[in-house]
Amino acid sequence: MADQADRKFEMEIEIAVPPDQVWHAIADAEGVRRWFAPVAEADREVGGKIVWEWAPQHRWVHRIEAREEGKRLKTSYDSSVPDGSGGQKKLFVEFLLEGQGGSTKLRVVQSGFGPEADFDEEYEGISRGWPVELGSLKLSLEKHPGKDRQIARAARDLVIDQHEAWRRLTGDQGFACGPDIGSLRKGEPFRFETADGDVIEGTALHCHDTDFCGCATSHGNAFVRISSERWGGQVHPWLWLAAYGEDEAELKALSGRWDKMLERLFADCGESAAGSAGTS
């Protein structure tokens, strides 16, 4: 937990495409759907609305606070922390772009987190989430420019220990990741063969104690993620593979196998489906 009264998350990445392509990916709904939220809306004027949605219960609604075409986009949204006046305290997300020839430096700043303990879970989730999502953005733009994606996914909303959920996801009856998943580093190879016989292999992009993502060369340089996240008082184990140009029927079947895997792994948790496979 940061010590400052107003905590913020900052991260900068370099993407080997021109700024206009990065701008389209963050500011336009079509671009957002190719790497971030499967359902997206985006107005183009200050005071307008931006919506990112993964499922009806996971919907992120923003107000556009500033918009400088091709350079800067800043939004605000309601946090989970009451403001004492019947509303919620605001948080802010800012995207800053700087062109470097044929490449772009993108800086993401999320601010407004106060010192209150009520912000801790949200701050931790943001700090874990952006490195993963920006990896998805970089992969999409550099390896699949201008292409829509197809998504295989499965998820649950559970009352369970976060690390226990991770242990089950990555264990022999789940993704069978092996004991070395926690020590994988960016660029290192991985190969997972699930209990159902599905093989996913490629190179690691980001690893956390309960989160993994990579570039799945086995599926045409798809973005794959295995995660056990905590928010809203629950733990959310989920599986995700975003592919570009892969067979939609095969991805739908993969989603079905993953959904049955989660049902099997968490049969004792009284889970309810939080997401299902699909194409977007």
- Domain segments of the chain: what residues? 7-143, 150-279
Grade residue 46 by pLDDT with cuts at 50, 70 and 90: very high
Residue percentage of the chain with pLDDT more than 90: 81
Give the pLDDT confidence score for residue 274 in this predicted structure.
47
Give 215-221 contacts, CB < 8 A, sequence gap 24+: 215/139, 215/143, 216/241, 216/243, 219/243, 219/246, 220/244, 220/245, 220/246, 221/139, 221/143, 221/144
2, pLDDT greater than 70: no
Q: What is the pLDDT of residues 87-115, one digit of tens each?
A: 999 999 999 999 977 999 999 999 999 99
Q: Mean of the per-residue pLDDT values for the chain?
A: 92
Grade residue 16 by pLDDT with cuts at 50, 70 and 90: very high
- Specify the CATH number of the domain 150-279: 3.30.530.20
Q: What is the pLDDT of residues 140-180, one digit of tens each?
A: 999 999 999 999 999 999 999 999 999 999 999 999 998 88
280, pLDDT greater than 50: no
CA gyration radius for the chain? 19
Give the pLDDT confidence score for residue 273 in this predicted structure.
47
Average pLDDT estimate for 259-273? 84
Query: In 114-266, where do the E strands start and end?
Result: 150-157, 189-193, 199-208, 211-216, 222-231, 234-243
213, pLDDT greater than 80: yes
> Domain 7-143 in CATH: superfamily?
START domain (3.30.530.20)
> What residue type is 167 in one-letter code?
R
Give the span between the Cα atoms of 65 and 242, in whole angstroms: 30
Q: Same fold for the domain at 7-143 and the one at 150-279?
A: yes
